[in-house]
């Protein structure tokens, strides 16, 4: 009998502070009108500094997912944590989440995924393989981000800063023999050609390679410690994410439809059979373009970027959870997930909704 993976529980967490577009105008030269017109975003949530972290938000979402699946934390045998804004450079958030949840058994392994916007889809695919081989029975997959601590709030950083928000989403994956409640297919892609076009490149081990030494003020002093973080990096604001927005936009609108078609073809399904499409919430204009390409009506797509901004690895599980809570995703529905982002990496998944 064939084994599939099913989403058996889901949860989300959004911090309470609402950062509106208007409030951002206190820090940078931008406007509510520009942000809404170019991105669809009206507001985003920010975590409480010194109290909340990527891991603690992930833990809140996880507790709800665990409860929703009707299991106990001790049942979890594998944690997958996708984020680009971890609590520490290392160790990863997976082990911190294990500690935060109070999971004491060391048989529960923890893995961190660094695939940015497509981190959740990558994590879903990894979890699916481990479930199908029979290695794990209860996998906790989390996407969480705390962007607000690491953005450039000057006008120079406005293109990136206005789009990002904080939050977390989590799912529990379990085995099933019933195809009608399982993940049907996942498709993953990457292309490192444009790695630096959407990246936070410092601090890191590159020492100026890839981009030219002068940009970072690296000095040949013979002291290996000089190259990790330089004063010039701090002065020039190089410790912030940077993005070639137009290139990312143009590539995204090509890759989203391609990778969704790949999943449809693999399963012999047509776009009209999709009951709910949840795209990574990068930009409402990207989501609308993809929706049009697929010929989907508004009730078959769920977007919430208007309220939460782009929460990177957390955006799909947050939107999926909200759509489920609102009754827009029902047991037996064919759900399509797709993401594109930094790397570049992109991916899709088609699944039958199980709960
Ligand atoms: O989830 C990860 C993947 N990320 C994405 O998918 C993001 C994809 N890219 C985008 O969503 C869009 O490129 C952005 C929303 C980031 C930017 O929108 P855009 O329409 O591509 O704007 P642009 O960068 O071409 O800038 C157009 C103008 C510029 O002014 P000039 O040179 O025409 O005078 C910018 O300086 O808009 C200006 N601008 C802003 N103005 C007010 C850029 N950011 C802002 C801002 N507020 N926040």
pLDDT of amino acid 227: 64
Protein residue whose Cα sits closest to atom 45 of ligand 1: 159
Q: State yes or no: pLDDT of 220 exceeds 60.
A: no
Q: Which of 70, 73, 136 is nearest to 100 (CA)?
A: 73
3-state secondary structure of 347: strand
Distance of CA 328 to the CA centre of its chain: 21
Q: Which of 150, 178, 206 is the last residue of a domain?
A: 178
Do 137 and 251 lie in a common domain? no
Q: Which of 11-15, 159-163, 223-227, 313-317 has the lowest mean pLDDT?
A: 223-227
Do 156 and 271 lie in a common domain? no
pLDDT of amino acid 237: 75
Catalytic residue among 21, 108, 147, 280: 280
- Alpha-carbon distance 318 to 324, whole Å? 10
Question: To test the ligand 1 pocket, which listed residue (165, 245, 246) has its Cβ within 8 A of the most ligand atoms?
Answer: 245
Give residue 251 CA to ligand 1 midpoint distance, Å.
15
Give residue 160 CA to ligand 1 midpoint distance, Å.
8
Protein residue whose Cα sits closest to atom 21 of ligand 1: 246
**Residue 177 annotated to the active site:** no
163 within 8 A of 309, measured Cβ to Cβ = yes
Q: State yes or no: pLDDT of 3 exceeds 80.
A: yes
**Residue 310 annotated to the active site:** yes
Protein residue whose Cα sits closest to atom 20 of ligand 1: 38
Report the percentage of the chain scoring pLDDT > 70. 95
**Total of domains in the chain:** 2
30-56 pLDDT, tens digit per residue, is: 999 999 999 999 999 999 999 999 999
162 Cβ inside 6 Å of ligand 1? yes
341 Cβ inside 6 Å of ligand 1? yes
Do 163 and 289 lie in a common domain? no
**DSSP at 75:** G
Q: Which of 141, 120, 181, 104 is nearest to 11 (CA)?
A: 141
- Alpha-carbon distance 151 to 88, whole Å? 16
Q: State yes or no: pLDDT of 25 exceeds 60.
A: yes
Do 140 and 160 lie in a common domain? yes
pLDDT of amino acid 107: 95
Question: To test the ligand 1 pocket, which listed residue (40, 159, 161) has its Cβ within 8 A of the most ligand atoms?
Answer: 159
144 within 8 A of 167, measured Cβ to Cβ = yes
Protein residue whose Cα sits closest to atom 5 of ligand 1: 282
Please name the residue that has the structure tokens 């199908």.
132
In a domain, 329, yes or no: yes
282 Cβ inside 6 Å of ligand 1? yes
Range of the structural domain that residue 256 is part of:
181-196+242-352
Do 158 and 279 lie in a common domain? no
**Residue 244 annotated to the active site:** no
183 Cβ inside 6 Å of ligand 1? no
Do 137 and 189 lie in a common domain? no
Do 185 and 163 lie in a common domain? no
Do 136 and 28 lie in a common domain? yes
pLDDT of amino acid 225: 61
Catalytic residue among 21, 242, 303, 310: 310
Q: Which of 132, 188, 175 is nearest to 7 (CA)?
A: 175
Do 70 and 192 lie in a common domain? no
Write down the pTM of the prediction: 0.96
Do 141 and 290 lie in a common domain? no
Backbone CA torsion sign across 91, 92, 94, 100: positive
Catalytic residue among 117, 147, 283, 321: 117
Instruction: Please give the average per-residue pLDDT across 45-68, as a whole number.
Output: 97
Q: Which of 134, 152, 178 is the last residue of a domain?
A: 178
In a domain, 161, yes or no: yes
Give residue 329 CA to ligand 1 midpoint distance, Å.
32
Q: Which of 128, 147, 178 is the last residue of a domain?
A: 178
Q: What is the CATH number of the domain that holds 150?
A: 3.40.47.10
Cis status, amide bond into 91, omega within 30 of 0: yes
316 Cβ inside 6 Å of ligand 1? no
* pLDDT tier, 205 (very low <50, low <70, confident <90, very high otherwise): confident
- Both tokens of 36, joined, read 């809404």
147 Cβ inside 6 Å of ligand 1? no
338 within 8 A of 351, measured Cβ to Cβ = no
Do 155 and 191 lie in a common domain? no
Do 113 and 185 lie in a common domain? no
283-328 pLDDT, tens digit per residue, is: 999 999 999 999 999 999 999 999 999 999 999 999 999 999 999 9
Distance of CA 264 to the CA centre of its chain: 22
230-248 pLDDT, tens digit per residue, is: 777 777 777 899 999 999 9
In a domain, 22, yes or no: yes
């Amino acid at each position: 009998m064939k084994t599939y993976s099913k989403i058996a529980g889901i949860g989300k967490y959004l911090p309470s502070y609402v950062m509106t577009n208007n409030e951002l105008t206190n820090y940078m030269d931008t406007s509510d009108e520009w942000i809404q017109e170019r991105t669809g975003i009206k507001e985003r949530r920010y975590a409480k500094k010194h109290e909340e972290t990527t891991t603690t938000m992930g833990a809140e979402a996880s507790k709800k997912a665990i409860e929703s699946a009707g299991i106990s934390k001790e049942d979890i045998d594998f944690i997958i944590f996708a984020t680009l804004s971890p609590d520490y450079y290392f160790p990863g958030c997976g082990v911190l989440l294990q500690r935060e949840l109070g999971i004491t058994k060391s048989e529960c392994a923890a893995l961190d995924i660094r695939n940015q916007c497509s981190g959740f889809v990558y994590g879903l695919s990894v979890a699916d393989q481990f479930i199908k081989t029979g290695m794990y029975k209860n996998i906790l997959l989390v996407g969480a981000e705390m962007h607000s601590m690491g953005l450039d709030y000057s006008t120079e950083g406005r293109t990136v800063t206005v789009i990002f928000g904080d939050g977390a989403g989590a799912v529990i994956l379990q085995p099933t023999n019933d195809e009608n409640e399982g993940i049907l297919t996942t498709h993953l892609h990457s292309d490192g050609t444009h790695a630096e076009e959407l990246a936070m490149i410092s601090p890191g081990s590159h020492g100026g390679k890839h981009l030219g030494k002068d940009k970072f003020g690296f000095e040949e002093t013979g002291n290996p410690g000089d190259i990790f973080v330089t004063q010039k990096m701090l002065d020039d604001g190089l410790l912030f994410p940077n993005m070639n927005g137009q290139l990312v936009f143009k590539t995204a609108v090509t890759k989203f439809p391609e990778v969704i078609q790949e999943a449809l073809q693999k399963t012999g399904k047509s776009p009209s059979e999709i009951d709910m499409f949840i795209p990574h919430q990068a930009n409402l204009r990207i989501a609308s373009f993809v929706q049009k390409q697929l010929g989907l009506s508004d009730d078959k797509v769920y977007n919430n970027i208007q309220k939460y901004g782009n929460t990177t690895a957390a955006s799909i599980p947050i939107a999926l959870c909200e759509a489920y809570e609102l009754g827009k995703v029902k047991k037996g529905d064919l759900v399509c997930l797709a993401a594109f982002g930094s790397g570049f990496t992109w991916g899709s998944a088609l699944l039958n909704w199980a709960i």
